[in-house]
Structure 1
């Protein structure tokens, strides 16, 4: 059969693709007049579960070749080294007993809040696993694992396609749930993590320094004294200032959603919802 002009094909096996290697491949194509360069990466087992072939096509004007990924490829995500609580494997009974046992040594006052948080975190460390995965495949489930093992045995393209469709379907459902349930208040953890500690007085001083309005310090002191006097003389609201009841506390905890970000104190909703009777009192 007459198939036209001869096509020069060069096949190589390399480990990783870097800028210097691309420059070398460019010179290789020019020197040997190669039309198609086939690269096979099989050394990086932790990033590719299937053999991935990369075809580098030489353009007519001898520019650097464009790289096209061809074949079945499963991306593996590298996690950030930040430990997370695994609430699904938590021993909540041990957590509750630990908090109730140690809560008796803390008086129920606002000054003891930090001690209360310390007890909760100490109990969480003993009863809730905490860590992170170095690498993982998003939405990799038992079905995907079974299809992958089947493909490893028979090398059937239909099995690989079914596995990828299973992954894509699970990712699509997770994306929909995340978009529908996303709450902007959950971003407060990131904001507090990277925030700079700025006090209200510093903000007021900055506004005074940058504004062109005249400042009367004597008038400011009079206003602050008058405000303090008014607050002290204000009538006490029996409805809003009375201590909340145990039923109100349970109702608030029941309405609290799980899976949300922690506040600046590092306490997650999952820490508060399983508290025992002594801790709630």
Structure 2
């Protein structure tokens, strides 16, 4: 009857305890068979079901909203993980105040050297429809090994489960080395560009008159010269603080020796601790606090930036501009503006900037003022390319700008 009523595809019922109001069950994947079911316990105030999987014991705990017995739970004789609903309030796991059950549970944890797996940044594991807020009634407790080190475990709380106020919680037990996954997008490394070769190729610009209609050809030539001389690649996946001493992990994968795994993790922890110390010691609030505040924001300690509630949205502004820009062109007004512009330019004295061509000095000043490393404009030309143009290419650009100024036309791609 149990196999029929409590069936889950791909899993088998390993241990269970029925009750009129509540029940406990532990399921195992069908391919796992090396487990031992331990006898359940029920004393009216605490109910547990347990299994032993290899060297690890998993205890499923449920305590009704009553006081804990003394001792609260059985003493862990070996590696043990306690999970499920403890119905105890304490500030250590997110409650505003601690009650008697929370104090009793923390006293037992301190006496038996049991540790809590908890992250204050995660959501609560229980959603109360009565109080419309989250709580952390479901806890994860781990014992320590022979060296006094707690079992390595982490948890992840998922959204609300259908037809239940309790949320699913995934627990990762054992060695878990963070692997940074980076999107494999090719990027240009402007710090390693062969600028001499780039300049030499651009100096071969010949047979292209500096006119507005040839600007697109100039852009294609410039980008082509850049791609041929800029190394492009992507950042590979990596493990933070991975050193040459961390190759013992390969030995652990082959031999599954716990000592090799512990040495591997201790090496990683030492390297990460040293990097953290160096990062904190290098922070400087006196001259530049940008890096310090950036680190604080990454740690989640800074106040989140709340965007103002703007009633006028960008899409509404764009739609308004598009709707009003489709009016009929007044050709007579356009011709009148051009006529007035020619009249003003003709009447300008020779010393006026409107009557003289752009000089090479002005072009050099503009190119020098452009900041490197900025995003490209509509034409897709990085500012770094314009900084490394040769004399002939700069002369071509100067003639182009003078042609644009006096012919009163601008390319669409500019």
Name the TM-score class by shorter chain: 0.5 to 0.7
- Report if the CA contact (8 A) 1:147-1:159 is conserved: no
Mapped partners of 1:244, 1:177: distance in 2: 45
Mapped partners of 2:203, 2:155: distance in 1: 64
Superposed displacement of residue 159, structure 1: 5.3
Tell me the secondary structure at the aligned position of residue 31 of structure 1: strand
- Report if the CA contact (8 A) 2:179-2:237 is conserved: no
Structure 1 portions without partners, runs of 5+? 1-19, 39-51, 180-199, 210-214
- Residue 123 of structure 1 is matched in structure 2 by 225
Superposed displacement of residue 268, structure 1: 0.3
- Residue 108 of structure 1 is matched in structure 2 by 210
Choose between structure 1 and 2: higher strand proportion. 2
- Residue 291 of structure 2 is matched in structure 1 by 176
Confirm or deny that 1:149 pairs with 2:239: no
Superposed displacement of residue 98, structure 1: 0.8
Superposed displacement of residue 165, structure 1: 5.3
- Residue 7 of structure 1 is matched in structure 2 by none
Choose between structure 1 and 2: higher helix proportion. 1
Confirm or deny that 1:77 pairs with 2:181: yes
Tell me the secondary structure at the aligned position of residue 78 of structure 1: coil
- Report if the CA contact (8 A) 2:246-2:264 is conserved: no
Cα 1:247–1:149 shift into 2, 3 Å: farther
Mapped partners of 1:170, 1:146: distance in 2: 18
Greater Cα offset, 170-179 or 69-78: 170-179
Confirm or deny that 1:232 pairs with 2:342: yes
Cα 1:265–1:163 shift into 2, 3 Å: same
Mapped partners of 1:98, 1:208: distance in 2: 42
Mapped partners of 1:25, 1:227: distance in 2: 84
- Residue 190 of structure 2 is matched in structure 1 by 87
Mapped partners of 1:260, 1:249: distance in 2: 19
Deviation track 1:86-128 (CA, whole Å, cap 9, x = no partner) reads 1122211111111112x12222223221111111111112111
Mapped partners of 2:192, 2:12: distance in 1: 50
Cα 1:74–1:233 shift into 2, 3 Å: same
Confirm or deny that 1:98 pairs with 2:165: no
- Residue 273 of structure 1 is matched in structure 2 by 387
- Residue 135 of structure 1 is matched in structure 2 by 237
- Report if the CA contact (8 A) 1:26-1:65 is conserved: no
- Report if the CA contact (8 A) 1:259-1:269 is conserved: yes
TM-score normalized by the length of structure 1: 0.55
State the Cα RMSD in Å: 4.9
TM-score normalized by the length of structure 2: 0.40
Deviation track 1:1-41 (CA, whole Å, cap 9, x = no partner) reads xxxxxxxxxxxxxxxxxxx99x9699988423343479xxx
- Residue 248 of structure 1 is matched in structure 2 by 362
Superposed displacement of residue 266, structure 1: 0.8
Tell me the secondary structure at the aligned position of residue 263 of structure 1: coil
- Residue 31 of structure 1 is matched in structure 2 by 25
Tell me the secondary structure at the aligned position of residue 67 of structure 1: strand
